[in-house]
Every structure is written in structure tokens, then in C-alpha cells.
Structure 1
Amino acid sequence: MSDTSKSTLKKGLSGLHLWGIAVGLVISGEYFGWSYGWAQAGTLGFLATTILVAVMYTTFIFSFTELTTAIPHAGGPFAYSYRAFGPLGGFIAGFATLVEFVFAPPAISLAIGAYLNVQFPALDPKLAAVGAYVLFMGLNIAGVTIAATFELFVTVLAIIELLVFMGVVSPGFSWDNFVAKGWSGEEGFSLVALGGIFAAIPFAIWFFLAIEGAAMAAEEAKEPKRTIPRAYVAGILTLVVLAFGTMIFAGGVGDWNALSNINDPLPQAMKAVVGESSGWLHMLVWIGLFGLIASFHGIIMGYSRQIFALARAGFLPPALASVHPKTKTPVWAILAGGVVGIAAIFSDELIQIGGLPLTANIVTMSVFGAIVMYIMSMLSLFRLRRTEPALERPFKAPGFPVVPAVALGTAVICLAAMIYYNQLVFALFVGLFAVAWLFYRFTADLREAAEDDDLLELAQMEARSMAD
């Protein structure tokens, strides 16, 4: 199954494909997950949280694009941190990215199961989630162009469906419904409401989580230095509009508390307006699945490229860097992430922490990985500006150093708040980090034997020149 030559990926992605991947990776966040933030902060408090997080993501993407175009590598953040800080920096960013992308799919697959359960009450959501893994791992193995074209198709359908949702529920929208007890269940702002704003951060991040995953398709993109900036800028603008529109319209159709602890808030919000037997509702459930599928399928693509890049560089077993001789896809990396995800689906007792549903804790675990990776990426941007001023940068972060500093500062605030409000999940995150560190610490021979990689060669040359 593996190719014995140098592990390379096929270049077949256009700018439109990259936009579809960037938006598709994220768009399931508009369909579920975010409403858990209402349980923490209320509608108004969560609106404030989302504004903070939207600022972080917008400034982050405009800064992150500089790294993506300067270092188009399947490892994405792992590659940038390796280039900036050497193997240890690469390990930290690579591990964090892996947690983000491996833990997000089981949460999405459970939501797919919940949506299907609306139509087929006898269907076990967990079995449906496993079926989704099997189907979409197979599609990713079939080839990157096939996978990306499918991703683009379902992403466009998912965007159309969100616009349809807003239009259908708009007659039932009331601002009074949205603001009722909108500060953590209270009418007015208080210290409790302020705490809720910070506690809700993981669920606001879920609106945008994984947009950076398009960077991991950089080695497979045609003209990445031109197409990636366009895809990222268009992608973040698309997602900001959809996030605020979906949240506000859903919160104004009735009692928002009824939507705050479930995996299918949009169908339930629409049901309050059009009734259970409406064709609009059934259409939302079926077409809404495309939003979940777009992210699920796209993140499988993302985690597989991250595993592939880490294995190719000697940070994971080299077998995971094998590519199929015909499709040029990282087969074992795709399957390995799937095994972890399916195990998470059935790990209720391990991951149900603090009285929150399984999905909410998986979301939080994924977000911990994302925030650590965002911090490492922005630190890498600042360091590379200083250590490699001559590095070709087809796209430069606008407003440097202010814009990336805003992204870094808000990411640090988010991480601190998340640790405070999610101490048990953070402890589990640290435990996983410790296990990964032990593997890294005692497998230096894998990195010494790793196949030639331009990233490694450049970083090693830089390290030698600094030593001299």
C-alpha cells in the first residue's frame, strides 16, 4: 500500500477548492456546538463572547496567511513552529494541532448522528457516527481532488441552507425573545454574567475552529502563494457573517434555553416557527447534514495531513507517512485518526466531565489544542520576522506588529479563561501532552532517520549557522 519513494502529495487544488476547504472545515460550527455557550453566558453574554472571538480569528487569519504562503507545507503550524523554534517548537505546535483536529471529528460525527436521529428515532446516534467515519475516511483515501471537489459541493449547499434557515425563521423572530434573561439567565449585567462570557469562550471558538486547516492542503494546492490568501480572506468573511446571522436568528424564535444543551439547535428552532410536520423542517435536517458532513470530511483531510507531516519528520512512527501509490493520499494517517475518533465516541465515562454532555467536553478538548496552536503560530510569525527577514513573503500580515499582537493577546486571554473554567478537561489535555512528550523524548532516532524534507533541511541549516 505504501510508496517506497519520497512521500509526496499530489498538487490538484484550485483557489475555489481551498475556499471550500477553509469554510467547509468550520461550517458545522454554525449547525451545532455553539449553543452550549448560551447555557454558560445567555444570548447577550454569548454575543459579547462571539465578538471577542471573531476579532481574534479575523486578526489571526490575516497574520497566519503570511506563514502559510511563506512556508507552504502539509504540516501547517507544525512547520512554522519548527522553522522558528526548532524540533521542540515543532513538537508543541504539532501536538496541539493534532489534538484540535483529531478531537473535533468525533464531536461532529455525534452531531451527524443526532440530526439523523431526528428523522429516524430508532437509529443509534453513535452507530451513525461510526458509519460516518467509515464512509468519509474512504472518500479521503480515494484522492485529494475528488475529496476537495466533494467538500466544495457540500459546503456551498450548507451555506445555502443556513441562508434558507434565516429566511424561514425570520417571521418568528423577536428581539424580545433574544434578549430575555440574556445575561447568564438574568435580565441585567453582573459579575455572574461576566464569568459566563469567559466560560463560553470554547463554544464561540467552535464557530470558527479549524479554518486554519486549509494550510495543511498547501502542498496540494496549485499556486499556493496566490490562491491561499484569497481563500483565507474570503473564508473568514463568509464565516463571520454566517456565525452572527445563525446565532441571532435562532435565539429570537422562542425560548433560547430550550436550545442551549442539544446537538441540533437549528431544527428545533425552526420547529418552533413552522411546526413539526413542515417540509421546511425536514429539508433543514437533510440539507443541514451537508454542513456537518463538510466539516467532518474536511477535518479528516486536515488531521491526516498533520499526522502525515509529523510522521514524515520523525515525530510519529514513519509508517504513518506512507502514501497510496495511485491516489497519493496518506492512507495510514487517515485510518489512525479515525481509530482515535471512534474510541472517543464510545468514551462517555472518560470524557463526560463537569456535568456537561460528551459533545461539549470533546469540543473543549479540541479548542484547547487550537488555542495553543494559535499562540505558537503567532510567536513563530514574530520570531521569523526577526530571524529570517529575507524569507519570501508573498502575503504580509497587514498592520504588523499590531494585528498579530491582537491575535496573540486575545488567544492568551482565551486560554487563561478556558483553563480556569475547564480545569478537569485541561488536566486531561496536559496528560495527553505528557504522553506525547515521552514519545518525543525517547524517539530521537526516528527524527535522525526521517526522509529528506526541505523544512527540516532549512531549519537544521539555520540551527548550525546560529551555533557557528
Structure 2
Amino acid sequence: MKSESKSQHVGKVTHHELKQTLGTWQLWGIAVGLVISGEYFGWSYGWASAGTLGFVITAVFIAAMYTTFIFSFTELTTSIPQAGGPFAYARHAFGPTGGYLAGAATLVEFVFAPPAIALAIGAYLHVQFPGLEPKHAAMGAYLVFMALNIVGVQIAAAFELCVTLLAIFELLVFMGVVSPGFQWSNFTKGGWSGADTFSMGSFHGMFAAIPFAIWFFLAIEGVAMAAEEAMNPKRSIPIAYVAGILTLVLLAIGVMVFAGAAGDWTKLSNINDPLPQAMKFIVGEHSGWMHMLVWLGLFGLVASFHGIILGYSRQIFALARAGYLPEWLSKVHPRFKTPHRAIIAGGVVGIAAIYSDELIQFGGQTLTANIVTMSVFGAIVMYIISMLSLFKLRRSDPNMERPFRAPLFPFFPAFALVAAVICLGTMVYFNFLVAIVFAIFLALGYVYFLLTRHQREAAPADVLLEE
């Protein structure tokens, strides 16, 4: 009888397992691909409040936060290589409630980022096909890439690597094409919140621009959610993370400076397609370069969109497997071994967000800006909980195997933690309505969490915790 029970238990666990197929290059492709759409759009909204020079300072501060965060976060990822990522780390450190907060915040980040990217895909296609409604194109993108993610992680990761390489190539081409018109005076004119000289008001703009600087790097931590599908996570994930953040920092600086120096940057500060519009300054509207950028520029958006679908699906899968969401969401496709129900569930929420102008377009910001801000709120809360988890686990579980240890501990994680707290405070101040909506999401989720304790008690044991 005991043997039968054990056999049934093992069968239940394997029913919730993912397939280990990802190598180092594929993980690097996911790390960069998750984020690279941030080089194509979103960041330029920061110019509207901070100006170009003010936004440079904001972006450097955020780049420092992400660099120290990734070096610290990698310790958690390699020590606890689970699909839940931050949810798993916080649950180890602070128990079920900590796991809920981290999981819910990560879910908001990864479920709300794809609609913003899908809308940008629609905007890029609209440039090429003026009769195409951007929202319909965005929904079409969801359907195509949800299907691709369901077919299999190996195929999805190979596709992700290819489009990421093409996206990087395209950003380099963009910089090369606009470089003949490069004028530093274009970049610096009105660079301090619309003024030519620094003033106290510039600080206001720099703090208000924080969400859009974060968008440069948002979601790189999503590699953690592919950890269960990595063939050698303790070696490959640190390489993917470190190489990924260095790649993204260099690209962010290049894209921002070359776009701003190409012409009147104020015309790029509140749109979803700043790179094609910046290229218009140099080559004109009907140039072949212009059409090439629109088509190849889609690769960057597609890379992030596709990668984040992978990320949100694994987060939903992990939360459902642990009993934090309905158990049926943790089912793996019998043939493709992918969390197909989780992929579809996140897609339904994202498509609803795309068509929810009246609900999401408030506070004087565009639909895209509010979606970006909501996603960033989730990310920042998750970063704070993750760094607190790192400090807690160093004390409570000093003997845990740590294949990668955060360098310059405790200074790197402390800087990342303090910077994230500063970001959260300023974001609440400048985006109070979005903050309230975010808090409502967390509160409603917490009520569900309290009412479903039986789900977590009945959830299958986590194999990685038992080994």
C-alpha cells in the first residue's frame, strides 16, 4: 500500500514536470530577447518628462541597479533553479505569504508587459500598412506566438535566439544609418526637462522618468523561469545573465544617443515607434532603409513578446503547481510538454488589456504608458522581495549550495535593494492611480490566497525541494 502511494505521488509530480533542453546560448537569447523590445520603444516616453540629458542620468542609475541586481539575483537562480523564479526564492525565505507576494508581483510584470509590446508591434505594422488596425495586429501577434510557445520550448528557444540576433543586427544598422546626421546639439537641445539648463525642476522629471528607464531592462530576470528547462542551470544561467546585461547596457546607450542626435527628439518622445521616426529625419519617409527598419525592427519586438510569453506561462504554471492558482493551470501538454493552459490564460488577460482603453487609459497617460507602468510596478516589488530573500537565505540557510555567489556581498544586493525602494517610492508619487490599481490587484489576489489554503496543501511536492 505504501509502495502504491509512493508510485501515485511520483506520477503526480512528473505530470507537472518540464523538459530540460536549453543550453547557454539559448538562455542568453532568452535573456536578451526578453528585454530587447525595450530598445525599440517605451523608453522614449521618458524624454517627455526628463528631457534627453535628464533621462541619461535616470538611465545610468537604473542600469547600475539592474547590473547589481542581476549579479545578486543569479545567486538565487542557480541555488534554487525552479520555474517559479522569484516566487520560489521568496517562498524558501519567507514562507507561503512571501511566495504569494513575489509570485503575484512577477505575474503582474510578465502578464502586463506583452500587451504593451503587442501594441508596439501593431504600431510598427501600421507604418507599413496604414489600413491595418494596430490593436487587431496586436491580437494576431498573441495568437501566433502563443501557438509557437505551445508547440515546444526547444523550438521556441531556437526561434528566440534567431530573432534576438536579428534584432541586435537591426539596432546596429539603425545606428549606422542615422550616424551621418549625428549632431550632439540635437541631443542636448532642451535636454533638461525641455530646458537648456539644469534646474531643480529637472529632478522632478528625472524621477518621473524612472519607469521608462526600467523598460530598457525590464524582464531580463525572466531567464529564471526557464531554469527547470536548462540542461545545466548552475553553469549556463550565470553566463547568460552576465553576458545579457552587458549586451543590453551597450545597446541601450547606443540607441538612445543616436536616436536623440538624429533630429528633433521632442517628436519621438510620446510615440510607440521612435526608431523609424528618427530614421525619417535622415533618409526620408520613402527610403528603402525606412522600410527595412520597420520590417527588421519587428524582430526586436517579436523577440521580447515571444520571450515574455514563455516567462509568464512558466510563472502561472509554477504558481498553479504549488497551489497558488487553480491546479488545472499547471497541466503540461501531453505531447509538447509545455504549460499550454498557462500560455492561453495569460494571453486572454493580455488581449483583454489591449482592448481596454477606457479602463487602462487614465491619469493623462497613453494606454501603452499605463500598461508599461503597471508592469514596472510588478517588477520593482519583485526586485525588492528577491533581494530581501537573498539576505534572509544567507542568514537562515548558510549551508545551501550556491554555485554562483553574489560578488561584493552585501554591497551589490544592498545597492540593488535601496535603488529599487527609491524607484518604488517615486513611481507611487508620480503614478498614484496606477499604484492604486496595482495595490487592488495584490489585495484581491491575497484574498484568493487566504481562501485557497487547501489547494496548497493538496499540491504535488516540489521535486527540487526534496532532492
Name the TM-score, length of structure 1 as normaliser.
0.96
* Aligned twin of 2:361: 352
Tell me the distance in 1 between the aligned counterparts of 2:122 and 2:12: 36
1:301 to 302, 310, 333: 310
Q: Specify the code of the residue in structure 1 equivalent to 2:139.
A: V
* Aligned twin of 1:464: none
- Could you say what secondary structure the match of 1:253 adopts? coil
* Aligned twin of 2:6: none
* Aligned twin of 2:196: 187
* Aligned twin of 2:84: 75
Residues 26-52 of structure 1, C-alpha deviations (whole Å, 9 max, x = no match): 000000000000001000010010000
2:255 to 238, 246, 254: 246
Tell me the distance in 1 between the aligned counterparts of 2:315 and 2:98: 15
* Aligned twin of 2:44: 35
- Considering only aligned residues, what root-mean-square deviation do their CA atoms show, in Å? 1.2
Shift in CA distance, 421/121, structure 1 to aligned 2, threshold 3 Å: same
Q: What is the CA-CA distance between 1:6 and the residue it aligns to?
A: 2.9
Q: Would you say the 8 A contact 1:250–1:266 is kept in 2? A: yes
* Aligned twin of 1:18: 27
Residues 73-109 of structure 1, C-alpha deviations (whole Å, 9 max, x = no match): 0000000000000000000000000000000000000
Q: What is the CA-CA distance between 1:278 and the residue it aligns to?
A: 1.0
Q: Would you say the 8 A contact 1:41–1:197 is kept in 2? A: yes
**2:145 is the counterpart of 1:171:** no
* Aligned twin of 2:133: 124
2:322 to 313, 333, 349: 313
* Aligned twin of 2:380: 371
**2:254 is the counterpart of 1:258:** no
For structure 1, list consecutive stretches of 5 or more residues without a partner in the other structure. Answer: 459-468
1:436 to 439, 445, 449: 445
- Could you say what secondary structure the match of 2:51 adopts? helix
* Aligned twin of 1:463: none
Q: What is the CA-CA distance between 1:5 and the residue it aligns to?
A: 4.8
Residues 142-161 of structure 1, C-alpha deviations (whole Å, 9 max, x = no match): 00000000000000000000
Q: Specify the code of the residue in structure 2 equivalent to 1:89.
A: G
Q: Would you say the 8 A contact 2:186–2:260 is kept in 1? A: yes
For structure 2, list consecutive stretches of 5 or more residues without a partner in the other structure. Answer: 1-10
Tell me the distance in 2 between the aligned counterparts of 1:378 and 1:45: 28
- Could you say what secondary structure the match of 1:389 adopts? coil
- 1:317-328 to 2 correspondence within 5 Å? 317-328=326-337
* Aligned twin of 1:215: 224
Name the TM-score, length of structure 2 as normaliser.
0.97
Q: Would you say the 8 A contact 1:25–1:295 is kept in 2? A: yes
Aligned length: 457
- 1:39-438 to 2 correspondence within 5 Å? 39-438=48-447
Q: What is the CA-CA distance between 1:4 and the residue it aligns to?
A: 8.8
Q: What is the CA-CA distance between 1:190 and the residue it aligns to?
A: 1.2
Residues 128-153 of structure 1, C-alpha deviations (whole Å, 9 max, x = no match): 00000000000000000000000000
Q: Specify the code of the residue in structure 2 equivalent to 1:20.
A: G
- Could you say what secondary structure the match of 2:333 adopts? coil
Q: Specify the code of the residue in structure 1 equivalent to 2:435.
A: F
Q: Would you say the 8 A contact 1:31–1:291 is kept in 2? A: yes
The structure 1 segments of at least 4 consecutive aligned residues displaced by more than 2 Å after TM superposition are 2-6, 454-458
